[in-house]
Amino acid sequence: MCGRYNLTLPPEAIRQIFAVVNEIEPFPPRYNIAPTQPVHVVRAGPHGRELTLMRWAFMPSWVKDPAKFPLLINARAETAAEKPAFRNALRRRRVLLPATGYYEWKREDGRKVPFLFEAGHPIALAGVYETWHGPNGEEVDTVAILTAEATGTAADYHTRMPLTVAGPRFEEWLDPANDDGQKALAWADRGDYTARPVSVRLSNARNEGAGLLMPDPAAPPEPAPVMDEQPSLF
């Protein structure tokens, strides 16, 4: 799965990499992007590619009560083209989520340790979005990240991994005129990553800052037991 990622690129770099045409509000680096938070998304707009914010928790337009609907943060690439929740979004509402890495957890020495997966360059996570219409006229754009069976280094940590889209495929992926959802998945692929441990403080979505990218200090060695001094018999 993909349940946490980061985006530390400056806005101007995002503009250049993704050829964004709209104005971008300044925003700080984000080291701990979590589900239900607003996330930056690139989509096709009437005048070119737009960078906008969406809620990372996919909500089909036909949902009546969000409180009773499960939290959908990922869409399985193998079944998204047939699933009622994702089928239409995969056909016409594909997006890119700019990122600099993603996180996965692995149990080591009896505790879950987060690892940062990096490709050595910025990545574009493959996503789908839907606009949910509330009973009071409210509209909320919501997004999910596509995942597939993990390969390479990622497979040592989890069975799933996010799909990404390479720069030459951005146009095809984002174009809603390419409305064959199953074919569109061929434009997304698995990345090649390195993994390194980071701070367990990442597990709390409220924690932020570059310090999360550093592994926690090793636990100090257990002190040798102090023996009571005994009188010498010699």
Catalytic residue numbers read 2, 104
| Coil, strand or helix at 105 | strand
The pair of three-digit structure tokens given for residue 212, joined into one six-digit string: 């999360």
Tokens of 117: 């997966």
Helix (H, G, I), strand (E, B) or coil at 157: coil
Residue with tokens 């020495």: 109
Distance CA 104, CA 181 (A): 27
Instruction: Yes or no: say if 30 and 7 are a contact pair by the CB < 8 Å rule.
Output: yes
Q: Which of 84, 79, 60, 61 is nearest to 71 (CA)?
A: 60
In the chain, what is the straight-line distance between the N-terminal and C-terminal CA atoms, in Å?
67
The CA distance from 90 to 88, in Å, is 5
- Nearest CA to 96 out of 145, 142, 27 is that of 145
Main-chain phi, psi angles of 182, to 5 degrees? -65, -40
Instruction: Quickly count: other Cβ atoms within 10 Å of residue 53's Cβ.
Output: 14
